[in-house]
Amino acid sequence: MHLPSFILAATALSTWASPPPFTYNRTTFLLHGKPFVMVGGQMDPQRIPSDYWWRRLRSAKAMGINTIFSYTFWNELEPEKGKWSTHPANNITHFVQVAHEEGLYVVLRPGPYVGGGRDWGGLPYWLSKGGRTKVRSYNIPFLSATKDYLSRLASDLSHLQITRGGNILMVQVENEYGSYGEDMQYKLALRDLTSHFFDVPLYTMDRGDEDFVRDGYIPGVLSVVGGGPNGFRIRDKVITDPSSHGPHIDGEAHIANPDHWGPQSKHHSLNQNLLNTYIHNINTTLSANNSINIYMLHGGTNFGFSTGALSGNTTFTTSYDHNAPINEAGRTTAPYHTLRGEILKHIPNRTAVPEPPANIPLMALPDVVLKPFTTIRGAITRTITSPEPIYMERLSQAYGFILYEHKVRAATNGTLKAGDRPRDRIIVYVNEHQKGVIDNFYAYPATITLSLKKGDTLQLLVENTGRTNHWDKKSNLTNTLLDPHKGIQGVVSVGDSVLREWKVSLAPCKKRPVLWGRIKGGIQKGAMPVFYKGKFLVPTVNKNESRSKLDTYLTIAGGTRGVVWVNSFNLGRYRIVGPQQSLYLPGAILKPGVNNTVTVLELKPWNVTMVARGETTRRWENHPDPDAPKSPGQ
């Protein structure tokens, strides 16, 4: 029988010379035998430049936080099967050590699925390379890959568990599984895998819906529910198995919702009424000696192509600010100081809480003129031929763009059909001149009619805008929306003609491409995407100054939709539709006192002036989508 940790701990008390370092009973967490309340906040290291971890954690401690809750993103740690990333932001060990140095505990949330606005919920794309993969279920290949992931993660972190003198208190099993499924065989297998590699208490986290809580529960694992006191009542009502009872944690006390791209998508601002409600939730929870995880304490940034999507089409913005008390640029906000005052009311030794670090002003950056350099063909890394288009995953491509080209053998005309549905956005060209856009963002993507002559070249450029990150069994999503594949696979036709023999070119663009070729002459309206480049100087920084004095918000004026790199770092996507109109540019990736390069891939180029501009505040605006369908089905 798999006994819960508080039973094991109680049994051990009779033989241990001292109590276990961290355990719990029915109502209370016990840290070195004394009652302990987690005043926690969510902060994910992989959303923050590693140079800034110390300052972010120092700000957390100064707010009265004693525990950091952190997701780990499998797809970032193991971007290709068997290849563990050495990027500094993926050094979770160092993050936990820095937290330890700051006197902070850590609750680890490793998934394997985490959600959190990430591409495919943090699952690595390569799980789908062999076809339709049944993830989050009792599927041997999936569980085998998960075992390897947890084993490697534990090899890095096991010595940092509190049972071994470290600061990791607990580890979460899966994430909000009850909103997805009810496969008990899978849950038990994942519980046993996690407990094999970690020896601290385990917990599950589900949203405050009775069905979700019931279906997410795992015997012998502490059941945690988000939603504050109402969630606590639901947990106690629904979970009757005493092996999953224990003290309450508001597992995700949401401050605000994340933002999504779209012409009608407004920025989720935090008004006074919402703040007052949040203050009430914090006080009610902490005054009853229940624990809390402020979500997000610091949201950070979904850099590059790491954002996921809802319902397969509505993509999260690069900013994961969440209106957090510590904003995306790491500066403390007015709500930070308000919430700090409320939290300190519940801390016995409040004088031991340090003062918050002073905010460092952001840098303004004069206009950097961007000049066209080459087309997207300059970013192509590999080309193959195939009778029909192929998904990018089958070609070992995780993100970015894929170009399908067909040389017309016989004249044809009619409606273009490209596979079962857009995955996610198809820009249609004939002889490199744009004919329209089929975008899965819209319930009724545009219908494109073509008239092709013999010798014409049809080009279909597909943008992967993010794999579905969250599946809710109550939202009636069809299985097609759970399908992670991007690009086109299967029959492409125009009218009655099936088009065979394709040239397939890969342009991953996760890192700044090694560009080749030069644009000759002007850029015509409707041309294929173009790379623009510009250079700029930033001030020097002396050894006693923080690089965060070079932080800025980068806006691409004159651009419509595209991707931005600074030096070799992929900041992420920009879109004129909004609501996000600027990208957080950390000074940590800049080179003080020398030339820095900004590279932009503009998907809708023309002969207009494009400028990169660094601003000291973020702009939130909405604009019409120039590629929106005129009406349903047209």
The Cα 369–Cα 598 span in angstroms is: 10
Exposure of 456 by Cβ count < 10 A (0-12 exposed, 13-18 middle, 19+ buried)?
Answer: middle
Residue the block writes with tokens 């806006």: 555
Q: What is the pLDDT of residue 310?
A: 84
The Cα 156–Cα 152 span in angstroms is: 7
Q: What is the pLDDT of residue 521?
A: 78
How would you classify the pairing of strands 168-172 and 202-206? parallel
Q: What is the pLDDT of residue 631?
A: 66
pLDDT above 90 for 481: no
Q: Coil, helix or strand for 608?
A: coil
| Sheet containing strand 468-470, strands side by side | 314-315, 309-310, 468-470
How would you classify the pairing of strands 382-386 and 502-507? antiparallel
pLDDT above 80 for 313: no
CATH 3.90.1420.10 matches 36-352 = no
- Number of Cβ within 10 Å of residue 131's Cβ equals 9
Q: Active site includes 393?
A: no
Residue the block writes with tokens 């936990």: 96
pLDDT above 80 for 527: yes
For 52, phi then psi, to 5°, come to -100, 0
Mean pLDDT, to the nearest integer, of 354-383? 95
Q: Which CATH superfamily is domain 365-374+513-615 in?
A: Galactose-binding domain-like (2.60.120.260)
Mean pLDDT score across all residues of the chain: 93
Mean pLDDT, to the nearest integer, of 208-237? 96
Pull the structure tokens for residue 163: 């049972």
Of 78, 102, 176, 602, which one is the catalytic site residue? 176
CB 469 within 8 A of CB 433: no
Percent of the chain with pLDDT over 90: 85
The Cα 268–Cα 316 span in angstroms is: 12
Residue the block writes with tokens 């993100």: 399
Q: Assign 14 a pLDDT band (cuts: 50, 70, 90).
A: very low
pTM, 2 dp: 0.95
pLDDT tens string 373-428: 999 999 999 999 999 999 999 999 999 999 999 999 999 999 999 998 899 999 99
Q: What is the pLDDT of residue 18?
A: 76
Q: In the 3-class helix/strand/coil scheme, how is 418-454 assigned residue by residue?
A: ECCCCCCEEEEEECCEEEEEEECCCCCCCCCEEEECC
**Of 458-462, 480-484, 586-590, which range is least confident?**
480-484
Residue the block writes with tokens 């990333």: 85
Mean pLDDT, to the nearest integer, of 478-503? 86
The Cα 451–Cα 432 span in angstroms is: 15
Of 76, 174, 252, 463, which one is the catalytic site residue? 252
Of 153 and 20, which is predicted with more confidence? 153
Q: Assign 12 a pLDDT band (cuts: 50, 70, 90).
A: very low
Give the CA distances from residue 314 to residues 120, 310, 322, 350, 576, in Å, rounded to whole numbers and listed in that order: 13, 5, 17, 43, 15
CATH 3.50.50.60 matches 382-507 = no
The Cα 407–Cα 100 span in angstroms is: 61
Question: How much is the CA Rg of the chain, to the nearest whole Å?
Answer: 25
Pull the structure tokens for residue 477: 């999503």
Q: What is the pLDDT of residue 1?
A: 40
Residue type, 297: L
Of 181 and 313, which is predicted with more confidence? 181
Contacts within 8 Å (CB) and 24+ apart, 154-157: 154/197, 154/198, 156/92, 156/93, 157/92, 157/93, 157/96, 157/108
The DSSP secondary structure of 490-534, one letter per residue, reads S-EEETTEEP--EEEEEE--SSPP-------SPPPTTPPPEEEEE
pLDDT above 90 for 156: yes
Q: What is the pLDDT of residue 630?
A: 82
Q: Active site includes 78?
A: no
Mean pLDDT, to the nearest integer, of 192-214? 97
**Of 43-47, 375-379, 515-519, which range is least confident?**
515-519
pLDDT tens string 379-393: 999 999 999 999 999
The Cα 7–Cα 13 span in angstroms is: 10
Q: Assign 546 a pLDDT band (cuts: 50, 70, 90).
A: confident
Mean pLDDT, to the nearest integer, of 98-115? 98
Q: Which run of H or of E encompasses 30?
A: strand 29-31
In this structure, what is the dihedral angle of CA atoms 508, 512, 515, 521, given to the nearest 10 degrees?
Answer: 100
pLDDT tens string 561-600: 999 999 999 999 999 999 999 999 999 999 999 999 999 9
Q: Which run of H or of E encompasses 295?
A: strand 291-298
CB 298 within 8 A of CB 43: yes
Of 57 and 477, which is predicted with more confidence? 57
pLDDT tens string 162-172: 999 999 999 99
In this structure, what is the dihedral angle of CA atoms 403, 409, 412, 415, given to the nearest 10 degrees?
Answer: -20
Mean pLDDT, to the nearest integer, of 430-458? 96
Q: For 166-188, b where at least 16 C-beta lie within 10 A, e where not — what string?
A: bbbbbbbbbbbbbbbbebeebbb
Q: Considering the chain, tell me which residue range(s) the CATH 2.60.120.260 domain(s) occupy.
A: 365-374+513-615, 382-507
Alpha helices in 345-413 (DSSP H): none
